[in-house]
Structure 1
Amino acid sequence: MGEGGAPGEFWLFGYGSLIWKPPPHYDQRIPGFIKGYVRRFWQASEDHRGTPEAPGRVVTLIERPFWETLEDVHSVSDDKVWGVAYRIRPDKVEEVQQYLDIREINGYSIHYTPFYPADREIPTIRCMVYIGLPNNPQFVGSQDPERLAEHILRSKGPSGENKEYLLMLERALEELAIDSGDEHILDLATRLRKLEAQCTPGVTAPPEVEEAFAVDNELNRVGTTDEQEEVEKASQQ
């Protein structure tokens, strides 16, 4: 299936929740990166981290040439998107593909891309990846990072709080390699923690946050509602 995989092997690249919540029936997990894309929290989530009435936000990949035509306060200095490649057991490929089609159905489509393992002794692997293209109905486009952090903080869906998705992704990326962090993810996570500190009784926000809210204390706070605990749409491993 690629330079680093035998014919018939099935490899999947995860750049969002798949990093810390892997698919079932994998027998290899390899940290690494792909090139030519930019990861952004520009995809709405109506089925996992939000609801149809109040969609949350999750990450998608945007082809870099197209991204360069858009307005974005976050720059990209490195042509890498870090994540994890999973090899699925041959006898479980069809089952896992059906599981993924359900898990990623909310606006994502299938693509293939070269994957470069962090361990340079491992050859490049051709991986399948789910991408929410700009023409899909859940793509929300460029957003002000402060408003986006606020939106993530107040969103919640069947799979849990939206903030959990962001903070888990930040941590998972930092653990892959020395240089595997993502500026966009780090900035959003930092903003979210400051907002959460401001909104939590008994917690003192950092000085810069208190100063900002002293000038403008009109933050739109929307409380979360009780939702069912995480429910997967397909059987887990």
Structure 2
Amino acid sequence: MKTPLPTALHKAIEHIQKFRLWTDEERELSMLQTLAEHPSPEEIWVFGYGSLIWRPEFNFQEDRLATLQGYHRSLCLWSSVNRGTPEQPGLVFGLDVGGTCQGKVYKLHDDNIHEQFRLLWKREMPSGAYIPKWIRCETMMGPITALAFVMDINSHAYVQGLTREETVDIVLNATGSCGPCPEYVLETANALAQASINDENLFELAELIKQRIAKP
């Protein structure tokens, strides 16, 4: 297995130098502000586009396939906690600007919303690299407003311009508190395929990762 390419490591230097975990107080404030901004608090929906599709970890009443306009799924976020370390960051999905993204929306149960959101924030917002937004999503049963974790393109954790080879090398060499980075990418690709969600770029990347893993 190759080590990450020097160019890829160079692109991670700023993130490695500036990485900082959010405090519990920072996460709580962000969560409360986001809930307060909900335009229709009687229904709480969450849009999943990565691991939330195959490991939501919250109670939900209903799920639907959904399409989000103006953003696309991308491995554009350095992960120094869940799927990497500060010394060897991995990559996780973010909603990057432009295009469309197909995923799933989940309608949460009304009880214990704050506790469910605290768990969600602990998982998705360890360092505040996402911007939580309430965004209109299209479903077969009509439009809804759902919470989506959008990439903060001004964050030092934002990465773009990686070649496919660089991306594969980074993914193969990273492991974090939630497990190996290759598992994360492959499980997401598999979950999308099972849900009949087409993401050719991700499927091609997943095949390259599997080929590299299979090499002696």
User: What TM-score range do you get, normalising by the shorter chain?
Assistant: 0.7 to 0.9
Moved over 3 A (4+): none
- Which has the greater radius of gyration? 1
Do the aligned partners of 1:150 and 1:195 also contact (CA within 8 Å) in 2?
no
Are 2:189 and 1:189 aligned? no
Paired residues, what number? 176
- The alignment's TM-score, normalised by the length of structure 1, stands at 0.70
Do the aligned partners of 1:146 and 1:188 also contact (CA within 8 Å) in 2?
no
Do the aligned partners of 1:12 and 1:127 also contact (CA within 8 Å) in 2?
yes
Q: Partners in 2 of 1:41 and 1:114 — Cα distance?
A: 22
Q: Partners in 2 of 1:23 and 1:35 — Cα distance?
A: 25
The residue identity in structure 2 corresponding to 1:55 is: P
Q: If each structure's helix is expressed as a fraction of its own residues, which one has the higher value? A: 2
Q: Partners in 2 of 1:81 and 1:150 — Cα distance?
A: 25
SS where residue 138 of structure 1 aligns?
coil
Are 2:115 and 1:85 aligned? no
Q: Partners in 2 of 1:116 and 1:176 — Cα distance?
A: 16
SS where residue 166 of structure 2 aligns?
helix
How do 1:111-130 and structure 2 match up within 5 A?
A: 111-117=133-139, 120=140, 122-130=141-149
Write out per-residue CA displacement over residues 137-183 of structure 1, whole angstroms, 9 at most, x where no aligned residue. Answer: 21122200111111101111111110000100101111222xx2212
Q: Partners in 1 of 2:150 and 2:109 — Cα distance?
A: 23
SS where residue 81 of structure 1 aligns?
strand
Is there any run of 5+ residues in structure 2 with no aligned partner, and where? 1-38
Q: Partners in 1 of 2:104 and 2:79 — Cα distance?
A: 22
**Cα-Cα RMSD:** 1.6
Are 2:57 and 1:23 aligned? yes
The corresponding residue for 2:153 is 134
The corresponding residue for 1:69 is none
Cα deviation, residue 39, structure 1: 1.2
The match for 2:88 among 43, 54, 77 is 54
Q: If each structure's strand is expressed as a fraction of its own residues, which one has the higher value? A: 2
Q: Partners in 2 of 1:109 and 1:172 — Cα distance?
A: 24
Write out per-residue CA displacement over residues 26-49 of structure 1, whole angstroms, 9 at most, x where no aligned residue. Answer: 111112221111211110111111
Percent sequence identity over aligned pairs? 28
Do the aligned partners of 1:25 and 1:92 also contact (CA within 8 Å) in 2?
no
